Amino acid sequence: MFCKEGIDEPVTISSMPGQFQHTLESLRKEAVATAETGVRAFMLFGVPADKDAEGSQAWHPDGIGQRAIRALREEFGDDVVVMSDLCLDEYTDHGHCGVLNDANDVDNDATLERYRRVARAQADAGAHVIGPSGMMDGQVGAIRAALDETGRDDVAIMAYAAKFASALYGPFREAAEGAPRFGDRTGYQQDPANADEALREIRTDIDEGADIVMVKPALPYLDVVHRAKGETGFPLAAYHVSGEYAMVKAATANGWLDERRTVLEILTSIRRAGADMILTYHAKDAATWLRDGA
């Protein structure tokens, strides 16, 4: 779910029909309605009004991400799992996932220090689970240390361990307003052709202290999902991303596919491949269909 600073009512995300940039109040209402269908976990993304070169609103105590976390914790307490995405692309004025050096390349080590600040801010706001998605080397270890140093060993890390440089993130970049202003993210996301590297990254994140590892996107990488679960046995998430969601919505809007059957078949395939949990924008609808036996 996306929470945007500085708006008075929800804003439709044109490339993701049925999804919105929420106000804090509409975020609460939509979360309550979604929880009533049986969904018990929410991943939050903040969209700030002001951005700067290092993304400082990402760790500000009153930044929109922290306010969204607090809103759901106030609404639900511990009755649902509140998860927070940890990255800087929504918060930087250049749209990259970290701070830049003089050559306009992402500075990995300087970025890790900012990630430590974000992790502490999100934990203080009440996040149960933190999801580092920036794909910096060493990010899980840095975040785990930052949390443990402040006595927050109760906060789990769901690592975006195998996050590929995919063509399927376009609608998300509209939703989170985080498209890079120049270049791309292939320097720190993974090569879609290289499954072996993905497995190495997954094992590295496990060694650094991740509690859950994730493969993103889901459908084009079901082989990686299957290998990761089979080779590590570790708790595994798969992210059914915005582009996958948008394709289903576009096809069903044109009458080419039956939405309910298509969505449940896709989610079943991800689960069958080995995912223990699925992040999906179809969650509310899928939970309703499953609950009602439709």
Give the C-alpha distances (Å, rounded to integers) separating 133 from 18, 75, 119.
24, 26, 12
Among candidate residues 4, 29, 51, 216, the one labeled active-site is 216
Pull the structure tokens for residue 271: 């689960």
Cα separation, 72 vs 42, whole angstroms: 9
Of 274, 200, 270, which is closest to residue 241 (Cα–Cα)? 270
Distance between CA atoms of residues 147 and 142, nearest Å = 9
Question: Residue length, the chain?
Answer: 294
Of the listed 51, 163, 229, 249, which one is catalytic? 163
Q: What's the rounded Cα separation, in Å, for the pair 79 and 41?
A: 9
| Nearest-10 Cα torsion for 287, 284, 248, 90 | -140
Residue 127 near residue 86, CB atoms below 8 Å = no
- C-alpha to C-alpha distance for 112 and 208, rounded to whole angstroms: 14
Angle of helix 259-273 relative to helix 222-232, nearest 10 degrees, comes to 30
Judge whether 216 counts as a catalytic residue. Answer: yes
Please tell me whether residue 177 adopts helix, strand or coil conformation: coil
Distance from C-alpha of 192 to C-alpha of 162, rounded to nearest angstrom? 10
Confirm whether 163 is a catalytic residue: yes
Q: List the beta strands (DSSP E) in the chain.
A: 2-4, 11-12, 20-22, 41-47, 81-86, 129-132, 156-163, 212-216, 236-240, 277-280
Task: Name the residues annotated as catalytic.
Answer: 163, 216
